[in-house]
């Protein structure tokens, strides 16, 4: 049997470098800070680390406005630091995935500075320039992704034309209709893969192809400012570049709330290896809703297409807050950790979700993001503030965003010492998956297990594992004809009181098991 590829085996851990660990005391996380904390990733059995952008940037969108695709911003360190990080990670068996932002650059990128300098400049057509509408307004009705920004067009006084920006005005969209742009961006991919990077996360992939006629969205049954069919040929061309190198991976941010469109980007074996599925991330806390998306993917995707599951990143309210609903957040965050580990597919884990962090409270005078995403970007608390000071071991200086209120209890050091903590649970789950070919690559079947309960079977090599999550706020017994009979062994429960070291594993029949509110379990069934 072929070996399971690294990007299927275990979790890909997302580091948001500004908020992970600050090595030089300036209040902003950096590469030396990250290198000093790689033990944390090893303890989580992270198969790979995905770094949000570390490239030179004016930081209008905190690095997603790239001014040089092939260097490191001094705020984060140097290119040598990044090379060293890659070497350190590889020494630990951890792959490195960088964030590639192909849809737009910074307005400070030399390409845009040139493009803006004159209508006749050879780089003019590297970005999307148009005359205004007859009424003097922008060329069409496209809006920025960020509500606060408004129209997706900015008027340039110097050349008296408008340029397109799907995000902030400091992020002009590159013109992917121009083959020179495509070739230049392919060279960026080669630059990083040549340096030993194992994969790329493609930012805003759905924006890479737009209606070349730039027609307005109004009055149309479909959007013209994204998800144009040409995206697939562009993606295949990117994949061909990636396939020049052995064992590399691309994961796309495919921000389309339609499972069919997500799987379309995984089809044919010549597009993405993995896709972030935002339908999943937007689910309400409901067993039936989760079941539908899991089965939709299974049904719609080609058998070789591999799922990826994630419920958090740096753009969305934290899991523990989003699913809190009157105090259930911590227990549900634990259940989510089991769900992501035991589903067939690659789990993505956003830094801090292994601690069950809630959103931080950000007072109005400390708000820095244009789109309200500061709360989920708060720095990681490493040590109790009572010992390490207000920077909570993240920084010796003033953190760029406030740390979460309960850093004292939620910090890594405290949780690592407590076998009942979220961190200890996540580490146990990761160890289980690392040791289990069935969890890594076995088959999967969703079962009927009674109302409010999501249950699924994982099978492989004579082994059968059953995972179940109680979404209800009251205890629920596992019921249903589909459930396999016989005695089972509880490999793990998310109930904080359950500890494998203190008691012998519970043995009982599957149908005798009662799950506590928000409890999730992983069981071994007789072969
Ligand atoms: C998606 C990124 O995750 C987000 O942080 C960013 O603002 C946009 N793409 C634009 O690059």
Is residue 57 within 8 A of residue 67, CB to CB? The reply is yes
Residue nearest to ligand 1 atom 10, measured at CA = 64
Ligand 1 proximal residues by C-beta, below 6 Å: 61, 64, 101, 167, 203-204, 253, 314-315
**In this structure, are 71 and 110 located in the same domain?**
no
Q: What is the DSSP letter of 527?
A: -
Q: Which residues are paired to 138 by β-bridges?
A: none
Q: Active site residue: 73, 203, 211, 359, which one?
A: 203
Atom of ligand 1 nearest to the CA of 101: 11
Task: State whether 316 and 282 are in the same domain.
Answer: yes
pLDDT digits (tens, 9 = 90+) for 165-222: 999 999 999 999 999 999 999 999 999 999 999 999 999 999 999 999 999 999 999 9
pLDDT tens-digit series, residues 99-139: 999 999 999 999 999 999 999 999 999 999 999 999 999 99
Contact 206, 234 (CB under 8 A): no
Q: What is the pLDDT of residues 269-316, one digit of tens each?
A: 999 999 999 999 999 999 999 999 999 999 999 999 999 999 999 999
Domain CATH number, residue 350 = 3.20.20.80
319 inside domain: yes
In a domain, 471, yes or no: yes
Spell out a b/e string for 42-66, using b for 16 or more CB atoms within 10 Å of the CB, else e: ebbbbbbbbbbbbbbbebbbbbbbb
Q: Ligand 1 pocket test: which of 204, 310, 312, 370 has the largest number of ligand atoms within 8 Å of its C-beta?
A: 204
Residue 415 has pLDDT above 80, yes or no: yes
Active site residue 406: no
* Domain final residue, candidates 391, 411, 431: 431
**Beta-carbon count within 10 A of 271 CB:** 22
Q: Which of 9, 59, 44, 66 is nearest to 380 (CA)?
A: 44
For residues 53 and 13, is the Cβ–Cβ distance under 8 A? Answer: no
Q: How many domains does the chain have?
A: 3
Distance, first Cα to last Cα, the chain:
21
Q: Which of 175, 196, 215 is a domain's end point? A: 175
At 151, list the tokens. 């129209």
Cβ atoms of 252 and 229 within 8 Å: the answer is no
- Among 54, 203, 254, which residue has the most ligand 1 atoms within 8 Å of its CB, making it the best to mutate? 203
Report the separation in Å between the CA atom of 204 and the middle of ligand 1, taken as the mean of its atom positions. 7
For the stretch 42-68, pLDDT in tens is 999 999 999 999 999 999 999 999 999
**Residues 471 and 499 both lie in one domain:** yes
Check whether residue 189 and residue 254 sit in a common domain: yes
Say if 121 falls within a structural domain. yes
Which of 177, 243, 244, 461 is catalytic? The answer is 244
Residue 478 forms part of a structural domain: yes
The string over 92-107, giving b where at least 16 C-beta atoms fall within 10 Å of a residue's C-beta and e elsewhere, is eebbbbbbbbbbbbbb
Question: At 468, which CATH number?
Answer: 2.60.40.1180
Verify that 348 and 484 share a domain, yes or no. Answer: no
Q: Is residue 5 part of a domain?
A: no
Distance CA 527, CA 438 (A): 13
User: Is 61 part of any domain?
Assistant: yes
Name the residue of 315, 350, 370, 376 to mutate for ligand 1: max ligand atoms within 8 A of Cβ. 315
Residues 413, 371 contacting (CB under 8 angstroms): no
Tokens of 373: 């995403």
Compute, in angstroms, the gap from residue 314 CA to the centroid of ligand 1.
Answer: 9
Residue 1 has pLDDT above 70, yes or no: no
The protein residue whose alpha carbon is closest to atom 3 in ligand 1 is 315
CA dist., res. 326 & res. 342, Å (int): 27
Per the confidence metrics, is the pTM higher than 0.95?
A: yes
pLDDT beyond 60 at 502: no
Tell me the β-bridge partners of 487. Answer: 509
- Residue 315 CA: nearest ligand 1 atom is 5
Structural domain for 463, as ranges: 443-524
Question: What's the average model confidence in pLDDT over 31-50?
Answer: 98
Question: DSSP label at 156?
Answer: E
What contacts 479, CB < 8 A, 6 or more positions away? 449, 450, 511
338 and 476 inside one domain: no
- Alpha-carbon span 118 to 98, nearest angstrom: 33
Q: Are residues 337 and 218 in the same domain?
A: yes
Ligand 1: which residue has its CA nearest to atom 6? 64
Q: How far does residue 93's CA lie from ligand 1's centre (Å)?
A: 28
Which of 380, 400, 431 lies at the terminal end of a domain, its last residue? 431
Cα–Cα distance measured from residue 447 to residue 523, given in angstroms and rounded to the nearest whole number: 14
> Looking at the domain assignment, is residue 57 inside a domain?
yes
Catalytic-residue membership of 156? no
Q: Which among 350, 283, 287, 280 is positioned nearest to 309, based on CA atoms?
A: 280
Q: Same structural domain for residues 495 and 427? A: no
User: Does the structure show a pLDDT above 60 at 504?
Assistant: no
Structure tokens at 276: 């972030």
* 372 and 302 within one domain: yes
Atom of ligand 1 nearest to the CA of 255: 1
Q: Whose CA is nearest to atom 5 of ligand 1?
A: 315
- pLDDT above 90: residue 3: no
User: Do 192 and 276 fall into the same domain?
Assistant: yes
- Other CB atoms within 10 Å distance of the CB of residue 323: 22
Domain CATH for 119: 3.90.400.10
Q: Which pLDDT belongs to residue 510?
A: 86
Q: Is there a domain that residue 436 lies in?
A: no
Between the CA of 527 and the centroid of ligand 1 the distance, in Å, is 46
C-alpha distances (whole Å) from 456 to each of 39, 301, 471, 482 are: 32, 18, 14, 10
Q: Read off the pLDDT band of 447 (50, 70, 90).
A: very high
Looking at the fold, whether 484 and 382 belong to one and the same domain comes out as no
Identify whether residues 330 and 402 lie together within a single domain.
yes
Exposure string of 174-186, with b = 16+ CB inside 10 Å and e = fewer, is: bbbebeebbeebb
């Amino acid at each position: 049997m072929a070996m399971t590829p690294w990007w299927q085996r275990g979790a890909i851990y997302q580091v948001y470098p500004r908020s992970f660990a600050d090595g030089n005391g300036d209040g902003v996380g950096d590469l030396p800070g990250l290198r000093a904390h790689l033990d944390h990733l090893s303890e989580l059995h992270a198969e790979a680390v995905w770094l949000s952008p570390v490239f030179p940037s004016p930081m209008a969108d905190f690095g997603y406005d790239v001014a040089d695709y092939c260097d490191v911003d001094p705020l984060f360190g140097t290119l040598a630091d990044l090379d060293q990080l890659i070497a350190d990670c590889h020494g630990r068996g951890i792959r490195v995935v960088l964030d590639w932002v192909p849809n737009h650059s910074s307005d400070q990128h030399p390409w845009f500075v040139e493009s803006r300098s004159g209508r006749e400049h050879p780089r003019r057509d590297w970005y999307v320039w148009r005359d205004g509408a007859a009424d003097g307004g922008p060329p069409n009705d496209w809006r920025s992704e960020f509500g606060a920004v408004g129209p997706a067009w900015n008027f340039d006084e110097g050349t008296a034309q408008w340029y397109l920006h799907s995000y902030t005005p400091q992020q002009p969209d590159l013109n992917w209709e121009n083959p020179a742009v495509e070739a230049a961006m392919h060279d960026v991919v080669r630059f990083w893969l040549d340096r030993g990077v194992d994969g790329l996360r493609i930012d805003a992939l759905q924006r890479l192809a737009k209606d070349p006629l730039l027609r307005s969205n109004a009055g149309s049954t479909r959007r013209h400012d994204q998800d144009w069919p040409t995206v697939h040929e562009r993606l295949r061309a990117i994949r061909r570049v990636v396939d020049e190198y052995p064992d590399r991976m691309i994961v796309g941010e495919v921000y389309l709330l339609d499972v069919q469109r997500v799987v379309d980007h995984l089809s044919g074996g010549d597009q993405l290896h993995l896709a972030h599925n935002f339908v999943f991330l937007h689910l309400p806390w409901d067993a039936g809703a989760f079941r539908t998306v899991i089965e939709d993917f299974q049904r719609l995707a080609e058998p070789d297409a591999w799922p990826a599951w994630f419920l958090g990143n740096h753009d969305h309210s934290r899991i523990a807050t989003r699913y809190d609903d009157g105090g259930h957040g911590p227990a549900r965050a634990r259940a989510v950790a089991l769900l992501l580990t035991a589903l067939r597919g690659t789990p993505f884990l956003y830094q801090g979700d292994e601690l069950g962090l809630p959103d931080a409270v950000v007072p109005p005078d400390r708000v820095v993001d244009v789109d309200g995403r500061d709360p989920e970007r708060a720095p990681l608390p490493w040590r109790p503030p009572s010992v390490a000071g207000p920077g909570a071991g993240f920084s010796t200086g003033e953190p760029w965003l406030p740390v979460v209120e309960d850093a004292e209890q939620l910090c890594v050091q405290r949780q690592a010492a407590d076998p009942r903590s979220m961190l200890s649970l996540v580490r146990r789950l990761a160890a289980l998956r690392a040791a289990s070919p069935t969890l890594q690559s076995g088959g999967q079947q969703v079962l009927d297990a009674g109302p409010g309960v999501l249950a699924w079977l994982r099978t492989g090599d004579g082994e059968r594992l059953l995972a179940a999550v109680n979404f209800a706020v009251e205890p629920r017994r596992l019921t249903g004809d589909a459930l396999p009979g016989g005695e089972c062994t509880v490999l793990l429960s998310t109930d904080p009181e359950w500890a494998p070291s203190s008691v012998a594993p519970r043995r009982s029949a599957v149908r005798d098991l009662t799950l506590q509110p928000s409890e999730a379990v992983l069981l071994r069934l007789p072969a």
